[in-house]
Amino acid sequence: MITLCIRLLLTPRRVRPVPVLWLLGMGLLLAAPATAQQARQITFNEAVRLALERNPALQRAANSVDLQQIQVASSRANYYPTLNFSTSGRQSYGRTFSQEDLSFVNQTTKSANFSLGTSVTLFDGFARRASLEEAKLGLEARDLDYQRQRQAVVFNVMSAYLQLIERQEQVRIQEENLEAQQLLLDQIEEFVRVGARPISDQFQQQAQVASAELALLNAQRLVQISEAGLIQTLQLDPFGRYAFVAPSVEEAPFVPDTFDVQSLLQQAFARRADLQARDYDIRAARSAIQVAKASIWPSLSLSGGYGTGWNSRFRDPENPAQTAAFFDQLDQQRGGSVSLSLSLPIFDRFATRNNTQRAEVQYENARLELESLQQDIAVQVRQAYLDYQTAAKELDVTEKQLAAAELSLEAEQERYNVGASTLVELTQAQANYVRAAADRVSARYGFLFQEKLIEYYLGVLDPSQPLFR
């Protein structure tokens, strides 16, 4: 009966849907009072939503888009005319010569002026046009950077979840190994009691049980580390309690796709949002050079104004002995002007030359950044392609390895039961089986990760799609 239980426990099983992650914050749960609030359930889709809402890098990317939109509106507003209203009041004191009395008298004079002015630039060396083009290109670049950042956020959450599922499966394997080791210990103790095995076998198996317990603790610790990383990635309250519900991978297809590295590179160069953003940055930098060079051109502007005023000493033309009424003065003193101004730069202390050189350096930096990113993408895609091929081979190898380890363990168990094998040989077979089962789990999730990694490097990772197809 004991042997049958061991075989059942050691029989490999297909990876089944992972249960709710009860291991999150184990230390906190042990120390928490019984009245602590219930843990918040977080699914993968909710985790993606939270990350897209709270990720600081993504928020900064969105702010960059908003700032660039303001820049576009500002550049477009440079085409509009200005309109200003101004007013001023004045009160003066002093001695003045009176023509009536032919003497100097002390008097106070009050005055007020009102004016409305407007001006518009007719020609500025095409600086406004180049500035608007630069702002629009910069907006396209920032929007593409935002899209790429969204993909990065989703990929980070996806990677963290895949790691969590794998480590959770490793816990399951170690739990089954501990149960099998304990059952084997019970069987050996019975053999020792009846004198069928030496006492040293019992001591050796007790050490194996302790080693299995330690392996389980280490696996549980890795699960807690993964959950803590998810809490940080999702910007959750570190004092809260969370239970991450891992998605099922039971229906995930483990059939490797056939890729061609050249087509992958072409697709990455055509689809990567950050690569397109760098191209827009180069075009924007080229427009910035045109803005800097525009200062060598003459500028032409049209301006006009209309105003009036009031003065306490202004006399009524019909009755010179009296001061004219306020509104009569506004009507009598109103007037306007229209002017056309042409400015031709002769010497600007080399400001145009320096600004042009600065813009050209920034253009060169943008071009170098594009070339560097192209090289990075080529290396990333090639490495992801090779890793995917390796992961696909590991799927096949680990499956065969697990099947062989299972048969070897069953054979050693039968030999040990009839006294034809030693405990060392049985322990080695069982260790090989546990290692093969762990390698199989790592290969499965490693394959899934490499598949998503290729999508991320190609720039086709869709945040709206589920984790597994």
Query: For residue 17, is it within any domain?
Result: yes
Q: What is the pLDDT of residues 436-454, one digit of tens each?
A: 998 988 888 888 888 889 9
Query: For residue 243, is it within any domain?
Result: yes
Distance CA 65, CA 20 (A): 39
119, 129: one domain: no
104, 243: one domain: no
Q: What is the pLDDT of residues 419-432, one digit of tens each?
A: 888 888 888 888 89
Name the more confident of 108 and 217.
217
Helix H or strand E segment including 40: strand 40-43
pLDDT exceeding 70 applies to what percent of the chain? Answer: 87
**Domain extent for 315:** 82-123+305-344
Write out the two tokens for 258.
Answer: 């056939």
- The top-scoring range by mean pLDDT among 248-262, 355-369, 385-399 is 355-369
Residues 396-420, buried b or exposed e (16+ Cβ, 10 A)?
Answer: eebbebbeebbebbbebbeebbeee
Query: For residue 465, is it within any domain?
Result: no
Query: For residue 464, is it within any domain?
Result: no
Range of lowest pLDDT (77-91, 156-170, 287-301): 156-170
46, 169: one domain: yes
Q: Which pLDDT value is given to residue 64?
A: 97
With cut-offs at 50, 70 and 90, classify the pLDDT of residue 8.
very low
Q: What is the pLDDT of residues 86-108, one digit of tens each?
A: 999 988 887 776 666 666 667 78
With cut-offs at 50, 70 and 90, classify the pLDDT of residue 124.
very high
pLDDT (mean) for 183-204: 90
Q: Which pLDDT value is given to residue 39?
A: 87
Q: Domain containing 63 — which CATH number?
A: 1.20.1600.10
Q: Which of 26, 12, 20 lies closest to 438 in space, CA to CA?
A: 12
Question: Which residue in the block uniquely carries the two structure tokens 């046009």?
Answer: 129
Mean pLDDT (the chain, rounded): 85
Q: What is the pLDDT of residues 267-297, one digit of tens each?
A: 999 999 999 999 999 999 999 999 999 999 9
Name the more confident of 322 and 124.
124
Name the more confident of 153 and 93.
153
Query: For residue 331, is it within any domain?
Result: yes
Q: What is the pLDDT of residues 58-68, one digit of tens each?
A: 999 999 999 99
Distance CA 295, CA 302 (A): 18
Query: For residue 63, is it within any domain?
Result: yes
pLDDT (mean) for 67-85: 96
Q: Which pLDDT value is given to residue 108?
A: 82
131, 98: one domain: no
Neighbours of 204 (CB within 10 A): 16
> Is the pLDDT confidence value at 28 over 60?
no
337, 194: one domain: no
Distance CA 242, CA 23 (A): 10
Q: Which pLDDT value is given to residue 271?
A: 94
> Is the pLDDT confidence value at 26 over 60?
no
Q: What is the pLDDT of residues 367-387, one digit of tens each?
A: 999 999 999 999 999 999 999
Q: Which pLDDT value is given to residue 58?
A: 94
> Is the pLDDT confidence value at 1 over 50?
no
Query: For residue 466, is it within any domain?
Result: no
376, 400: one domain: yes
Distance CA 69, CA 148 (A): 18
With cut-offs at 50, 70 and 90, classify the pLDDT of residue 329.
confident
Query: For residue 34, is it within any domain?
Result: yes
Distance CA 126, CA 293 (A): 9
369, 328: one domain: no
Q: What is the DSSP letter of 1?
A: -
Q: Which pLDDT value is given to residue 402?
A: 92
pLDDT (mean) for 34-47: 75
Domain C-terminal end among 344, 375, 401: 344
Q: Which pLDDT value is given to residue 464?
A: 67
- The top-scoring range by mean pLDDT among 35-44, 353-362, 403-412 is 353-362
> Residue 347, class by beta-carbon neighbours within 10 Å (0-12 exposed, 13-18 middle, 19+ buried)?
exposed
Q: Which pLDDT value is given to residue 92?
A: 85
pLDDT (mean) for 334-359: 94
339, 352: one domain: no
- The top-scoring range by mean pLDDT among 236-240, 241-245, 338-342, 420-424 is 338-342
pTM: 0.79
Name the more confident of 34 and 53.
53
> Is the pLDDT confidence value at 141 over 80?
yes
357, 335: one domain: no
**What are the φ and ψ backbone dihedral angles of 40, each rounded to 5 degrees?**
-80, 125
Q: Which pLDDT value is given to residue 203?
A: 93
Q: Which pLDDT value is given to residue 253?
A: 53
Cα distances (angstroms) measured from residue 26 to each of 176, 220, 221, 228, 242: 20, 9, 9, 11, 11
265, 335: one domain: no
What's the domain count of the chain?
2
- What torsion do the CA atoms of 68, 74, 79, 84 make, to the nearest 10 degrees? 180
215, 327: one domain: no
356, 441: one domain: yes
